[in-house]
Structure 1
């Protein structure tokens, strides 16, 4: 990671997304009574996000039954793209983000599946690619769930710190 990727200027995050050839899906509409993000001082709390394709459709399936670990990793990466889309929509610019602070990754899987951290690496690796090795890497938990809404394979919620 170069130093220039660590200290992104206002248009650099969008440029980085474009350089990586990434396509953000449309931001999802809330599926219940909640706000997609809540800002308290400089703390930005992101509600749980699911994996969406570029056309906005959900990726579905249970890991260990419908999906392999590698497919779940890709779904976790897709959650990252969905979250970036939500953040851009709600904030106006991803450049308002100083760093990722905390991630909670939930994997919809069979009880025998134990590679939750490897699946959530799909999300975490994307954050590092976008925000850099320091700003894109936060504290993290990765846990297994018996089910998730709409049978999505992965859900991620996160806390970010906004720039002053």
Structure 2
């Protein structure tokens, strides 16, 4: 009987000295990203915000050649691979302060976003031989009081 108890005790000691098996469980999951595409307009002078450099005409009454504008530079930055189009609110106008007619156009009708600034220009042309209106006794007038001088550039994406 002592031998039997000794054998059982040694057996139990051997079982107790064996380390327990570790168990693991694994699961998988997806990372879900919701990206909202975007385009923005900014000028060379202002890195962000809907800013376009002013379009400026210098014109002398009855000049014999058409005038072209300066300025009008801007950037469009859109999400990578996002196609977009651009349009002006009104491209042919007679200014209601100085009475000079002009047309505006864009250097491109649109593009595809690449995540970086893409440069464009609002171009302007003013026909030759226009008289204009200047009710001031000053030698030069501006269209500061014009109610139709503000234009809108729309980016559709």
TM-score w.r.t. the length of structure 1 is 0.28
- Greater RCO between the two (CA within 8 Å, min separation 6)? 1
More helix by share: 1
More strand by share: 2
TM-score w.r.t. the length of structure 2 is 0.29
| Structure of greater Rg | 2
